Amino acid sequence: MAGLELLSDQGYRVDGRRAGELRKIQARMGVFAQADGSAYIEQGNTKALAVVYGPHEGMGQGWTQGSQLKGARGRHMQDRERKTGGFVLEIRGSRARALPDRALVNCQYSSATFSTGERKRRPHGDRKSCEMGLQLRQTFEAAILTQLHPRSQIDIYVQVLQADGGTYAACVNAATLAVLDAGIPMRDFVCACSAGFVDGTALADLSHVEEAAGGPQLALALLPASGQIALLEMDARLHEDHLERVLEAAAQAARDVHTLLDRVVRQHVREASILLGD
Amino acid sequence: MAAGFKTVEPLEYYRRFLKENCRPDGRELGEFRTTTVNIGSISTADGSALVKLGNTTVICGVKAEFAAPSTDAPDKGYVVPNVDLPPLCSSRFRSGPPGEEAQVASQFIADVIENSQIIQKEDLCISPGKLVWVLYCDLICLDYDGNILDACTFALLAALKNVQLPEVTINEETALAEVNLKKKSYLNIRTHPVATSFAVFDDTLLIVDPTGEEEHLATGTLTIVMDEEGKLCCLHKPGGSGLTGAKLQDCMSRAVTRHKEVKKLMDEVIKSMKPK
C-alpha cells in the first residue's frame, strides 16, 4: 500500500482542502445552564466544549458538601447545608491559594475516553492532560484582565468529545467563547490554530491523519487585534528558513478563526437582546 | 422580591407552589421536563447518544474492544459502565477521583444492565474461551440539573441501540482475529429499561423528575426502572423518608406511563436515523 499522500500534485489535502484552508467551524455560546459561561465548538470532526465558572471565591481544599462528612457532624452540616441551599464552608486554609492582586485562573483539560480511535484509559490526570491544562492556563492568563478580580478564582474546564486533530486549538477557541459568555473581561479574543509543513508548503488546521504522519506541527494562540502571540508550541524538526512561512500560515488561519468567532459572538448577543426585548 | 424570598427560605418558597399542585418551573407534580435525544454524533465511538432532560445533559459513548473471557464464564462478554460527574457539570463537584455520587451512579447503571438483561452477554462472545467483546460505556454528565439517573439510563439505552459491531472471524491457521469493518451489525437489545425518579417532599408529597434545587430540598428520593412488559428491573430507594405501599404503587404506575413516553421517543429517533 502506497504511503498516504498528504498533499497531492494539484495542491489538495487528504480531505480535499487547500493548503491554507480551515475546516468547517460551527460554534455556539451559552449551551449549559449551570455554568457561568459555556460554549461548544466543532472544527471539522473535532468537538470540544468549554465551561467557565467564576470569578468566585478561591476554592482550595476548604469547601465541602456537608453530606460527605460522616457522623453527627455530618448530619449537622447537612441541616445547615439544606437551609443555606448550597455549600458549607469549612475553612482549612483555602484562602492561601488566592492571589492578593489578581484572579487565579485554573484550567482543566479532559478528553472523553471515546474521543479517540483507540479508547483512552485515563480521561484526565495523565501527563498529556496536565500539560494541556497548563498550556491553556498560560494562554488565558495572558488574555484575561485578572487585575480586575483580585482574590478570586476563575475555573475553565474544557472537555473534548471527539478528537480529530487540532484539539488544543479547538479548546482555546471554545474557552474564549465561554469566557466571553461568562462576561469576564478579556484583553482580546484568543484564537488558535495548528499548522504543519509538507513538501515545501505550509498547511493550516491539521486533521488527525496529518498530525499522525509525523511532520513538524505548530500550535499558535494569537490575540488578533494586536497581533500578539499568547502561546507558540512546535513539535518535530523544522528548518529555520521555513519557520516564517509556517508561522504566517498559522497566524492567517487564526485571524480567519477570529472573524468567525466574532460573528458567533455578535449573533449570540443579538439573540439575547431580542429575548430581553430590547 | 420572590428571588429574595427564594434565597432566604427555599423550602417555604417551594411549599407555596406545591400547595397549588405545581412547581416553580410551571410543571405539574407528575410531569417530566422536555426530553431530547441525539444519536450517533460521536463518530470515533462505536455508539453514542446525547440526552437532555430539561437542563440535565448526559452524553454516553460506547467503545468495543476485544478481551479474553474469564474461565468461569468462557462464553460471556462484558459490559462495563462508568458514570463521570466532572467539575464542569456543576460547581458542587471537584476534580480528582470519582466522588460518592459518581460511584453510586456507576453502580446503579451496572445493576440496571445486569438486572434487566438489556444485552445477553452470550451475544458478545466471538470465540468461546478465547475472544469476547467488551463494551465500555462511558457516561459523562455535561450539565447537572437533577435527575441524573434517568438521563444516564436513557443515554445508555440509546447509545447501545446505536452500536454497530463489525464481524469478527478467527483464522484457523494463524489463530488471529480478522475484523471485517465493512460488515457491521447492530446489537441485539432485548429489553428497554427506562428509569423514573421521584423526590419526596416533607415525607408525604412525591414529585417526578426533580431538578437540582428540588433534589436538594427533598427529604428522600426514589428511582424505579421498568421494562416494557411492566416488569420491575430495579428499585433504588437510598434511605430518606419512609413511603407507604400505596404511594409506591402510584409511583410504579407513573413509571409505566413514562416507559411508554420514552419508548415512543426512542422509536421516532431510530426511525429518523435509518437511511431512506
Task: Decide: A216 and A237 in contact? Cβ < 8 Å.
Answer: yes
The residue count of chain B comes to 276
Per-residue pLDDT, averaged over B198-206, amounts to 86
Residue of A nearest to B43 (CA): A162
The secondary structure element, H or E, covering residue A40 is strand A37-43
Query: Nearest 5°: phi and psi at A195?
Result: -145, 155
Handedness of CA A134, A260, A193, A166 (dihedral sign): positive
First-to-last C-alpha distance (Å) of chain B: 54
pLDDT given at position B170: 84
Contact A112 B92 (CB under 8 A): no
Residues of chain A positioned with their CB less than 8 A from the CB of B145: 33-34
pLDDT given at position B178: 84
Chain B: give the shortest CA distance to residue A18, in Å.
24
pLDDT given at position A73: 45
pLDDT in tens, A22-65: 999 999 999 998 899 999 999 999 999 999 998 998 765 334 44
Average the pLDDT over each of A79-83, A206-210, B132-136 and give the range with the smallest value: A79-83
pLDDT in tens, B124-162: 888 888 889 999 999 999 999 989 999 999 999 999 999
Q: Does B92 touch chain A (CB under 8 A)?
A: yes
Contact A161 B100 (CB under 8 A): no
Residue of B nearest to A81 (CA): B216
Contact B91 A108 (CB under 8 A): no
Measured distance CA(B3)–CA(B9) in Å, rounded: 10
Grouping H, G, I as helix, E, B as strand and the rest as coil, residue A231 is: strand
The residue count of chain A comes to 278
Measured distance CA(B257)–CA(B265) in Å, rounded: 13
Grouping H, G, I as helix, E, B as strand and the rest as coil, residue A55 is: strand
pLDDT band at residue A278 using 50, 70 and 90 as cut-offs = low
Average the pLDDT over each of A259-273, B45-59, B234-248 and give the range with the smallest value: B234-248
Minimal Cβ distance to B42: which of A56, A87, A162? A162
Q: Which residues have a Cβ under 8 Å from the Cβ of A28 and sit 6 or more positions away? A: A39, A40, A41, A264, A268
Residues of chain B positioned with their CB less than 8 A from the CB of A63: 94
Minimal Cβ distance to A114: which of B44, B142, B145? B44
Neighbours of A20 (CB within 10 A): 17
Average the pLDDT over each of A155-169, B116-130, B143-157 and give the range with the smallest value: B116-130
pLDDT for residue B206 is more than 90? no
Instruction: Single out the residue of A53, A168, A43 nearest to residue A111, CA to CA.
Output: A168
Contact B44 A116 (CB under 8 A): yes
Q: How far is CA A54 from CA A38, A103, A151, B146, B210, in A?
A: 11, 10, 12, 21, 26
**pTM: predicted TM-score of the whole model, two decimal places:** 0.87
Q: Which among B91, B134, B211 is the top mutation candidate for probing chain A, defined by the most A β-carbons within 10 Å of its own β-carbon?
A: B91
In three-state form (DSSP H/G/I as H, E/B as E, the rest C), the secondary structure along chain B is CHHHHHHHCHHHHHHHHHHCCECCCCCECCCCCCEEEEECCCCCCCEEEEEEECCEEEEEEEEEEEECCCCCCCCCCEEEEEEECCCCCCCCCCCCCCCHHHHHHHHHHHHHHHHHCCCCHHHHEEECCCEEEEEEEEEEEEECCCCHHHHHHHHHHHHHHHCEEEEEEECCCCCCEEEEEEEEEECCCCCCCEEEEEEEECCCEEEECCCHHHHHHCCEEEEEEECCCCCEEEEECCCCCCCCHHHHHHHHHHHHHHHHHHHHHHHHHHHHHCCC
Contact A114 B48 (CB under 8 A): yes
Chain B: give the shortest CA distance to residue A84, in Å.
8
What crossing angle do the helices spanning A167-181 and A127-143 adopt, rounded to 10°?
50
pLDDT band at residue B11 using 50, 70 and 90 as cut-offs = confident
Using beta carbons and an 8 Å cutoff, which residues of A are at the interface with B? Answer: 32-35, 45, 47, 49, 51, 53, 56, 59, 63, 65, 68, 82-83, 85, 87, 108, 110, 112-117, 119, 123-124, 155, 157, 159, 161-164
Minimal Cβ distance to A34: which of B10, B90, B140? B90
pLDDT given at position B150: 94
Residues of chain A positioned with their CB less than 8 A from the CB of B144: 34
Q: Does B145 touch chain A (CB under 8 A)?
A: yes
ipTM given for this complex: 0.87
pLDDT for residue A89 is more than 50? no
Residues of chain A positioned with their CB less than 8 A from the CB of B143: 32-35
Handedness of CA A49, B140, B38, A207 (dihedral sign): positive
pLDDT in tens, B83-107: 999 998 888 888 888 889 999 999 9
The secondary structure element, H or E, covering residue A160 is strand A152-162
Per-residue pLDDT, averaged over B7-28, amounts to 87
pLDDT in tens, B22-41: 888 888 888 899 999 999 89
Minimal Cβ distance to A32: which of B57, B140, B213? B57
Per-residue pLDDT, averaged over B229-246, amounts to 87
Measured distance CA(A204)–CA(A164) in Å, rounded: 14
Grouping H, G, I as helix, E, B as strand and the rest as coil, residue A172 is: helix
Pairs across A and B, CB distance < 8 A: 94
What architecture (CATH level 2) is domain B24-271? 2-Layer Sandwich (3.30)
Per-residue pLDDT, averaged over A104-117, amounts to 91
Contact A114 B62 (CB under 8 A): yes
- β-bridge pairing A217-223 and A228-235: antiparallel
C-alpha of B22 from chain center: 26
Show me where the domains of chain B are located.
Answer: 24-271
The C-alpha cell that represents A102 in the structure block: 489578581
Measured distance CA(B101)–CA(A189) in Å, rounded: 37
Minimal Cβ distance to A82: which of B43, B59, B217? B217
- Residue whose C-alpha cell reads 500534485 in the numeric block: A9
The C-alpha cell that represents A221 in the structure block: 494562540
pLDDT for residue A72 is more than 60? no
Measured distance CA(B140)–CA(B105) in Å, rounded: 11
